[in-house]
Amino acid sequence: MSRAPIFALLACACWGGGSPESREVADLQRSLQTCMTSQVDAVGPDLETIAGWMTAAGDPPERLGDVLRVAADADGHRYGVTVQIDAERRLVYLATTGLMTLQDTSGDAGVVSLLTNLATLNYETMQGKLQLNPATGEVVLSIELETDDGLGQRTFGAALKSLKQSATSLRPKLVRAATSAEL
């Protein structure tokens, strides 16, 4: 395929020729600019769309105001996963609830061991962000999904599945750390 027509179109666009080709290039440039602008302005899916994705995947959520919640299980321990949208930051935030709390520890040694293991697991694994909510004493595993370049059903579903699998694999390690009597 010859590149001559492409170079001719670019030359007409750059030097403002009045040919039909130059008008076509100008139209294409405007279309491209419109597409780029609309891509940047996209805010991603809303909660209703995400609820539909979760329901279609066989995991219908409960709606609690601006939050979706679905039940999950980590080796017999029931916990929840919440989904929230931060439209300003263009994020979908997935986080566990009820996975573990400081009340599950065995005194000071368990707290120290749990906090040390939280830091270690965050450093060693890339399975989400483990953190301690200081107000509630709850251990939370979370994932943030950016929506400014598009977030689809498959990506969201994979992230939700990954969060649940990570919670299932990390919970036994956290329980062992929390019930440790060693400093």
Kindly tell me if the per-residue pLDDT of 179 is higher than 90: no
- Going by C-beta distance under 8 Å and a sequence separation of 6 or more, which residues neighbour residue 21? 8, 9, 12
Number of Cβ within a 10 Å radius of residue 125:
13
CA 74 from centre of chain: 20
* Nearest Cα to Cα of residue 111 among 57, 5, 183, 16: 183
Give the Cα separation of 59 and 74 in Å (integer): 16
Number of domains in the chain: 2
The answer on 125 and 63 residing in a single domain is: yes
What's the pLDDT at 160?
Answer: 95
The answer on 148 and 65 residing in a single domain is: yes
Answer whether residue 183 is part of any domain: no
Q: Write the pLDDT tens digit of every residue in 139-148.
A: 999 999 999 8
Mean of the per-residue pLDDT values of the chain: 82
Q: What is the pTM of this model?
A: 0.72
The answer on 87 and 34 residing in a single domain is: no
The answer on 74 and 34 residing in a single domain is: no
The answer on 150 and 98 residing in a single domain is: yes
* Nearest Cα to Cα of residue 140 among 157, 127, 150, 123: 127
Q: Counting Cβ atoms within 10 Å, is residue 61 exposed (0-12), middle (13-18) or buried (19+)?
A: buried
- Going by C-beta distance under 8 Å and a sequence separation of 6 or more, which residues neighbour residue 120? none
Q: Are 21 and 6 in contact (CB under 8 A)?
A: no
The answer on 93 and 70 residing in a single domain is: yes
The answer on 87 and 144 residing in a single domain is: yes
The answer on 35 and 85 residing in a single domain is: no
Kindly tell me if the per-residue pLDDT of 14 is higher than 80: no
Kindly tell me if the per-residue pLDDT of 34 is higher than 70: no
Q: Write the pLDDT tens digit of every residue in 51-92.
A: 999 999 999 999 999 999 999 988 889 999 999 999 899 999
Number of Cβ within a 10 Å radius of residue 162:
14
Q: Write the pLDDT tens digit of every residue in 111-159.
A: 899 899 889 988 887 878 999 998 999 999 999 999 988 889 999 999 9
The answer on 61 and 25 residing in a single domain is: no
The answer on 10 and 93 residing in a single domain is: no
The answer on 97 and 115 residing in a single domain is: yes
Dihedral sign (CA 165, 167, 173, 175): negative
Give kind and range of the element (H or E) at residue 143.
strand 138-146
User: What is the residue-wise DSSP string for 87-105?
Assistant: TTTTEEEEEEESSEEGGGS
What's the pLDDT at 8?
Answer: 47
Answer whether residue 72 is part of any domain: yes
Domain of residue 25: give its range: 4-41
